[in-house]
Structure 1
Amino acid sequence: MGYRLRELERKDIPAINGWRADRELISCLGAPYRFINQEVDEAWFDAYMRSRKTCVRCAIVEGDDDILGLVTLAGIDYLRQSATLHIMIGSTENRGRGMGTFAVLFMLRHAFYDLNLRRVELSVLATNEAAIGLYEKCGFVREGARRQACYKDGEFVDMYEYGIIRGEESELS
């Protein structure tokens, strides 16, 4: 397993745009399914490039440098020393191979020891058992729930809120 992270690049937009069209993938995330064309994703990338002080977006890659997933620290607040973590693994065959664990732990190290953050938080669908297992394995603690906070596939689903404080991250890394 030779995974690594690198900053998101413009060449990654077509792959991400394809993932956003994957209903199965989007059904696992808190975001609603929407039709997003490449031009919208290019504008999203341009907005990221203008907001790099408060956002870190990294491609998860292996070998040939093609993007396999995306991990993000968003809303970086240097006064509160906190940020919000997001992760997305593109294709089904890449899930369950340790890529998410690698990316989350690597990004936590970056948050805590490079950016001097104290806290990282996230929200996850209560129905996404694989993601919940990943976050708990990495040291995140469930801090609460937002009942029926997300509308997915015709029904409302709870969102769990997780957080981790520097020093609590798993020793798996």
Structure 2
Amino acid sequence: MYKLRELERIDLDRINKWRNDQNLIACLGAPYRYINEDVDHEWYEKYLHARNNSVRCAIVDDKQEEVVLGLISLLDINSINRSGVIHIMIGDNENRGKGIGTFAVNEMIKHAFYNLNLRRIELGVLENNLPAIRLYEKTGFVREGVKRESNYKNGKYVSMIIMAILREDYESMPSLRSENDE
């Protein structure tokens, strides 16, 4: 089905294509910018030097690891507060709505809680990105607040919903309990 693997230099051409897709970026919190390949290579090099407080993974087909379907990251990892911020991007439109995002978010949550010993993961999602909000709620994230009209997208301001999941909330989810009973 799918798996996560650390982002590799070879993935950058595909990611650069996505980061230059105005329709895709319109769904995300980041502003649209024209990004050339040199910028993405520098972005990757900065990641390699910041691996102690960030994890960037390609979401791939488990039978064809070179087929990158999306990108999921856990950033701003804080070892004192035991927290981090999650970001996800499913690149091509035909790959959305297939459970890829649900798989990747669940895998990154498990990695954060059980390998990195975090206890809180948070995120921001545009209020009009209803598929993403449903995905986050399904994976256990809870709405904590709203940053009103905080992001400028396509000529207007859009509010950002702040969501988070705590380790104890995740461990009390019925779907997780049934997995552990097997």
Distance 2:117 2:145 in 1: 25
TM-score under structure 2 normalisation?
0.93
Alpha-carbon distance, 1:129 to partner: 0.2
Matches within 5 A, 1:101-112: 101-112=102-113
* RMSD, aligned CA: 1.0
Show the counterpart of 2:64: 64
How big is each residue's C-alpha offset from its partner over 1:16-43, in whole Å with a ceiling of 9 and x where there is no partner? 0000111110000000000000000000
Show the counterpart of 1:114: 115
Distance 1:137 1:64 in 2: 27
Distance 1:118 1:56 in 2: 16
Matches within 5 A, 1:33-48: 33-48=32-47
Alpha-carbon distance, 1:67 to partner: 1.1
Show the counterpart of 1:3: 2
Distance 1:116 1:159 in 2: 27
Show the counterpart of 1:16: 15
Structure 2 SS opposite 1:150? strand
Distance 2:168 2:120 in 1: 10
Structure 1 SS opposite 2:89? strand
Alpha-carbon distance, 1:168 to partner: 1.9
Number of equivalent positions: 172
Distance 1:93 1:34 in 2: 23
Alpha-carbon distance, 1:167 to partner: 2.8
Show the counterpart of 2:80: 79
Structure 2 SS opposite 1:167? helix
Alpha-carbon distance, 1:162 to partner: 0.2
Distance 1:20 1:5 in 2: 20
Unaligned 5+ segments in structure 2 are: none
Distance 2:168 2:9 in 1: 34
How big is each residue's C-alpha offset from its partner over 1:101-134, in whole Å with a ceiling of 9 and x where there is no partner? 0000000000000000000000000000000000
How big is each residue's C-alpha offset from its partner over 1:59-83, in whole Å with a ceiling of 9 and x where there is no partner? 0000211211000000000000000
Distance 2:57 2:29 in 1: 19
Alpha-carbon distance, 1:165 to partner: 0.1
Structure 1's consecutive aligned runs of 4 or more residues displaced over 3 angstroms after TM superposition are: none
Structure 2 SS opposite 1:148? strand
The residue type equivalent to 2:111 in the other structure is: H
Higher helix share: 2
TM-score under structure 1 normalisation?
0.97
Distance 2:70 2:39 in 1: 19
